[in-house]
Structure 1
Amino acid sequence: MNPQSPEHPGIVWLNGSFVPAGEAFVSPLDRGFLYGDGVFETMRAECGRVLYLGDHLERLHRSLAALRIRVSAAAPNWGEVVRELLERAGLRRSVASVRITVTRGAGLSPGLPEASAPTLCITARGYVPPAPSVHAEGFRLHVFRSGFSPPLAGMKTLNYLYFLCARQAALDAGADEALILDPEGRVAETSAGSLLARTDGRWWTPSSPFRLPGITIARVTDLLAARGHNVEARPASLEELVSAQTLWVLNSLMIVMPVRSLGEHRFVHPAHDEAAELARRFIAAGGN
């Protein structure tokens, strides 16, 4: 079987069945479609092995519980379904991006009504990691100042338009990624990742109630701790961030990306080799 297009999955799993993507439909009254009433997780798979699947499922269930979306009766064995989807899609021998999406299902009632028939969907597509030359050059960050990180930023909800607008503003400014500030004007995260900084030899990460608890930053923190490097989580201003010598962006797909600059400021030690070595260790320890 030929791997499906990176942009257009050939087959998906929807509500218990594997179907061609072109034949997969949800109700026009689905609350995910109408209101963004749902959550998702994006994971990286390496040759059929989903990295940190258990961590992603734990975060998924926390978000579902917070939004009162119950899927216990409809939930599959996520790991088995994902592995079969990768096999059917011809992605068992390559790197893939896997996404689980859960919505409350169809309904027009106000508030957060009971999810009597939630919509469950899993998609997989080929993923091409950033080239070594991109890592060597590093990301350019742009501070997004049109608003601040939304109240639901601590959950990976389908209400994602703010972050897409932030990324577009960064692209329009000639940057690669957007830096998000919280309502207090402190650093929260980027539009699609967590931040890890090093100042005078000490690793730290910005903390804020208006940021997603990142799985990659948590696991990388463990890897650094295993080598005697503790990572401090603390509130940080922009001024504190630019005082760092090293800054990285982390997420589940690209794993670790060195940052070259933030606006006009350039970081003096992007630590490309360290980032690449840590990414290799992250993949090796991924389990599942």
Structure 2
Amino acid sequence: MSVVYLNGQFMPLGEAKISPMDRGFLFGDGIYEVIPSYAGLCVGFAAHIQRLQQGLAALEIRCALTAQDWKALVQQLIQQNGAGNLGIYLHVSRGTDSKRAHAYPQDIPATIFAYCFDIAAEPEADIDKAPRYKVMTATDLRWQRCHIKSTALLGNVMHHQQAAALGLNECILFDEQGFLTEGSSTNVFIVKKGLVITPPLSSQILPGITRQLLLSILRQHSTIQVEERSVSKNEVLCADEVWLTSSSKEVAAVVEVDGLIIGAGKPGPLWLKAQSLFKINKYNY
């Protein structure tokens, strides 16, 4: 049985109990992070913890753990779960109150939970072996604070289910003006004539850590040109390449959008360069 962390203690998963009066359960009132690790090495750890702390501040949730505390917690959790290829899920809710009320309660301790789960081996930078994603599009119907990595993910879940019900891998979203926001669980990039383009961060886009790392790596370790600007739906459908980024997927190649073949219907040459560079440099940030 896997070992988890709950409110200061490590314990078997089956022994972890959280009150039904916890605001994370009642309201989705919390923040979470998912950090990939391979053989004990985390990808983008500092950036993940910084985003976690920013989300907690945005929701006015008080949590006493420092970045160093989180590092020690995660390292011990990895060690107690075998230090293989693991995703680390971190979850902080506002805590447990004596009643259900919308207003934030005062002076209750946050609930802090963390566990590990097995993930696949590191994604390959190989056109023939790379997964080929097929996606659909939809109008973005989620709340307007998507930059906060809240545990209240029902809007994302419903959009993802739209795709899953059709046997597709992801649903990429557009605002009411027809401009790209993100996927239900990913950030989105396009490539056109050698230029890599992704929408700028806004309240409708989660500041993905893989997105952040990839932009830094491309700018610092390649001559590939990158732009952050608005992207129309037509640009997505006419792109030479489309990529999804996330902690679990790293840089994933999309070969079909709404039934239309993207590029040659396989991962493209810039995807190969990007994923190769990401694989080499991802532990340096």
TM-score of the aligned structures, taking structure 1 as reference length = 0.88
Matches of 2:228 and 2:71, distance apart in 1: 31
Number of residue-to-residue matches in the alignment: 275
Partner of 1:7: none
Is 1:144–1:170's contact at 8 Å kept on the other side of the alignment?
A: no
**Percent identity for Structure 1 against Structure 2:** 27
Paired amino acid for 2:57: A
Matches of 2:117 and 2:21, distance apart in 1: 27
Give a deviation string over 1:244-286, Cα, whole Å, max 9, x none: 2011100112211101010122111532533441331243435
Moved over 4 A (4+): 73-76, 129-135
Partner of 2:194: 201
Inter-CA distance 253–210: structure 2 relative to 1 (3 Å threshold) = same
Partner of 1:242: 237
Note if 1:156 corresponds to 2:149: yes
Paired amino acid for 2:141: F
Match of 1:217 among 211, 217, 224: 211
Match of 2:135 among 133, 138, 141: 141
How far 1:149 sits from its partner (Å)? Answer: 3.3
Is 2:36–2:86's contact at 8 Å kept on the other side of the alignment?
A: yes
Match of 1:98 among 70, 88, 94: 88
Inter-CA distance 184–114: structure 2 relative to 1 (3 Å threshold) = farther
What stretches of structure 1 of length at least 5 have no aligned partner? 5-9
Is 2:194–2:224's contact at 8 Å kept on the other side of the alignment?
A: no
Is 2:134–2:168's contact at 8 Å kept on the other side of the alignment?
A: yes
Q: Is the partner of 1:33 in helix, strand or coil?
A: helix
Q: Is the partner of 2:145 in helix, strand or coil?
A: helix
Inter-CA distance 73–248: structure 2 relative to 1 (3 Å threshold) = closer
User: 1:21-32 alignment to 2 at 5 Å?
Assistant: 21-32=13-24
Q: Is the partner of 1:86 in helix, strand or coil?
A: helix
Q: Is the partner of 1:198 in helix, strand or coil?
A: strand
Note if 1:274 corresponds to 2:273: yes
Q: CA RMSD in A?
A: 2.2
Partner of 2:62: 70
Inter-CA distance 224–275: structure 2 relative to 1 (3 Å threshold) = closer
Note if 1:50 corresponds to 2:42: yes
Note if 1:264 corresponds to 2:254: no
Partner of 1:187: 180
Paired amino acid for 1:163: N
The range that moved more, 193-202 or 224-233, is: 224-233
Paired amino acid for 1:165: M
